[in-house]
């Protein structure tokens, strides 16, 4: 960065109310002069403006005492058993579960609701609780000003199952909630009972401190997020739309992206977009017969050839102008000390020229690893396959399923066209009829169909920072920078490769953030979610509570349009 353009701290800095530490104050981001010369403008503008740390202005002795308590060992010691106890309740959801009330496996959620009622008595005596489709929990804390759009906080109660074959691989039993002095171990500890318990802890603390919201606060906890949310989040969303209407929420925060190190700087990356998703079923129908007289290629062999062709023709990395990772790259170029020179050159080149089909910036950025590549690439994974019923009988029907996560700027129609072209090649080779996307199977054919869980890429949440008007994004960023003021956290838009329950909430708000605000420097990544040894650092959990408290208060004071 050009030293002449660096922003200098103002001398009269405020004190961090929680720590009593004197912090540097920066001039308002719209006055910053960092950044490259913008092509064609003749002016210098920041590529990645950072808002100032945002602290609640409304203070009382009780609220100050609450802040102090939430930063104490006493609170840490009190919240550990509460999260541990939540992990000990095995609220697993399975892909083949039947309807609520019919499948007894849903009964695991009754003790979890009872546990929340016992552990958070003030929440349950103060907020209205509606149970949607039996197990979805919707808490409402009415604000004193009903003209203000509500704040909506989300999490889900269910966890992915633990396969019996992996139980002995865990360092501590998967539903033990074991605390080792740093981490709480167990399924759901980081996906996402930590966020759910963090929200409940925050609201319980606010009630105890005498806080009364002006802006209605809603807590929405589904129970089948891990199996697409059709019975939980979808029903919750319908209920909220019926009660409040479209675009009725000021902001929605759900589980999501974490704080991580990139290029020598620490970035909070709230997910402001999600890739789409589509599962495509492919059925190969070929004549059967006795396996002692096999043809050169049977149905399983032809299906395998098509699978090989699909894997050999992946999608190319491509950064659409709306893709939040492009914003993160600009933040890295402006603020990160180890941002690669080649990436900087390609980024400058992109900002000066029109975007073309070939995207050298995306190609270079994707070399950082698969976790980065798939932020800007449609992914393809063959996840299911079945065929044949007997060792001496040729398979007459072979089926496999290909999961796609659709890149921002692409669509399901592009995926359908791509996989149809590949299937057509194999169909021609073996003289099979190709039936794309009408669901009708016929003898000697390849049939393509998609499942009803089809999801287009999510609308992108606005992240523009306007000095004259606060926004949901600036409040989220300011709350984060206040909590981690000593660490110099930067905030940049992020993108989710997976999907959360917010897929059903698009109609409720344009301001949707998928964000895990807790940060533990000893924990890398997402805490082994969906695999052996899932865990959460206690410091990350405590900071989640503190962030939720600060965000609720800051939103309550914000004058949003």
Active site (catalytic) residues:
158, 225
Angle in degrees, 0-180, between the axes of helices 341-352 and 324-335, rounded to the nearest 10: 120
The DSSP line for 344-380 is HHHHHHHHHS---SS-HHHHHHGGG-HHHHTTSS-EE
Residue holding tokens 């301001």? Answer: 511
d(CA 205, CA 56): 15
Give which of 546, 488, 549, 542 is closest to 26, Cα–Cα: 488
Give which of 534, 528, 295, 522 is closest to 395, Cα–Cα: 295
Distances from the Cα of 296 to the Cαs of 388, 432, 444, in angstroms?
17, 15, 15
Whether 359 has a binding-site annotation, put simply, is no
d(CA 323, CA 327): 8
- CB-CB contact of 519 with 259 (8 Å): yes
d(CA 113, CA 157): 9
Whether 156 has a binding-site annotation, put simply, is yes
Whether 530 has a binding-site annotation, put simply, is yes
Residues 6+ apart with CB under 8 A from 220: 136, 137, 138, 139, 152, 153, 154, 233, 236, 240
Three-class DSSP category at 281: strand
**Phi and psi (nearest 5°) for 310?**
-65, -45
- Detail the residues annotated as belonging to a binding site: 156, 191, 226, 254, 530
Query: Residue positions in the annotated binding site for Zn(2+)?
Result: 156, 191, 226, 254, 530
């Amino acid at each position: 960065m050009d030293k002449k353009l660096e922003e200098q701290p103002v001398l009269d800095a405020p004190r961090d109310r929680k720590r009593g530490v004197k912090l540097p104050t920066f001039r308002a981001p719209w006055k910053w002069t960092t950044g490259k010369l913008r092509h064609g403008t003749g002016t210098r503008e920041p590529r990645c403006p950072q808002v100032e740390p945002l602290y609640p202005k409304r203070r009382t002795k009780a609220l100050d005492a609450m802040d102090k308590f939430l930063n104490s060992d006493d609170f840490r010691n009190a919240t550990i058993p509460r999260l541990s106890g939540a992990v000990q309740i095995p609220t697993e959801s399975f892909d083949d579960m039947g309807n609520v009330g019919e499948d007894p496996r849903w009964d695991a959620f009754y003790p979890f609701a009872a546990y929340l009622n016992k552990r958070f008595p003030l929440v349950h005596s103060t907020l209205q609780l509606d149970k949607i489709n039996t197990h979805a929990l919707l808490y409402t804390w009415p604000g004193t000003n009903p003209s203000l759009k509500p704040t909506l906080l989300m999490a889900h109660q269910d966890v992915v199952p633990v396969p019996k074959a992996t139980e002995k691989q865990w360092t501590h039993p998967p539903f033990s909630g074991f605390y080792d002095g740093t981490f709480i171990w167990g399924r759901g500890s980081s996906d996402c009972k930590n966020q759910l318990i963090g929200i409940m802890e925050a609201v319980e603390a606010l009630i105890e401190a005498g806080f009364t919201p002006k802006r209605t606060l809603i807590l929405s906890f589904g129970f089948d997020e891990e199996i697409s949310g059709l019975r939980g989040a979808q029903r919750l969303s319908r209920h909220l739309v019926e009660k409040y209407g479209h675009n009725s929420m000021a902001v929605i925060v759900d589980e999501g992206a974490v704080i991580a190190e990139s290029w020598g700087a620490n970035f909070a990356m709230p997910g402001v977009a999600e890739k789409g998703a589509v599962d495509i079923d492919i059925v190969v129908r070929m004549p059967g017969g006795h396996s002692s007289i096999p043809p050169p290629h049977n149905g399983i062999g032809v299906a395998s050839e098509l699978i090989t062709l699909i894997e050999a023709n992946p999608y190319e990395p491509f950064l659409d102008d709306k893709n939040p990772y492009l914003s993160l790259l600009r933040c890295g170029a402006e603020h990160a000390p180890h941002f690669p020179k080649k990436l900087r050159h390609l980024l400058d080149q992109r900002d000066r020229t029109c975007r073309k089909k070939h995207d050298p910036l995306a190609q270079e950025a994707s070399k950082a690893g698969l976790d980065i590549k798939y932020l800007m690439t449609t992914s393809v994974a063959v996840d299911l396959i079945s065929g044949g019923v007997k060792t001496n009988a040729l398979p007459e029907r072979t089926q496999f399923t290909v999961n796609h996560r659709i890149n921002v700027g692409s669509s399901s129609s592009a995926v359908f066209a791509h996989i149809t072209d590949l299937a057509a090649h194999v169909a021609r080779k073996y003289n099979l009829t190709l039936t794309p996307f009408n669901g009708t199977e016929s003898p000697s054919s390849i049939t393509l169909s998609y499942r009803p869980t089809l999801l287009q890429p999510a609308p992108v949440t606005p992240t523009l920072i306007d000095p004259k008007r606060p926004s949901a994004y600036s409040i989220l960023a300011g709350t984060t920078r206040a909590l981690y003021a000593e660490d110099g956290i930067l905030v940049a838009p992020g993108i989710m490769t997976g999907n959360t329950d917010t897929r059903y909430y698009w109609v409720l708000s344009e301001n949707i953030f998928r964000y895990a605000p807790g940060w533990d420097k000893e924990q890398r990544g997402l805490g082994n979610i969906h695999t052996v040894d899932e865990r959460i650092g206690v410091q990350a959990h405590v900071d989640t509570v503190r962030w939720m408290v600060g965000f609720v208060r800051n939103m309550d004071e914000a004058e949003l349009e």
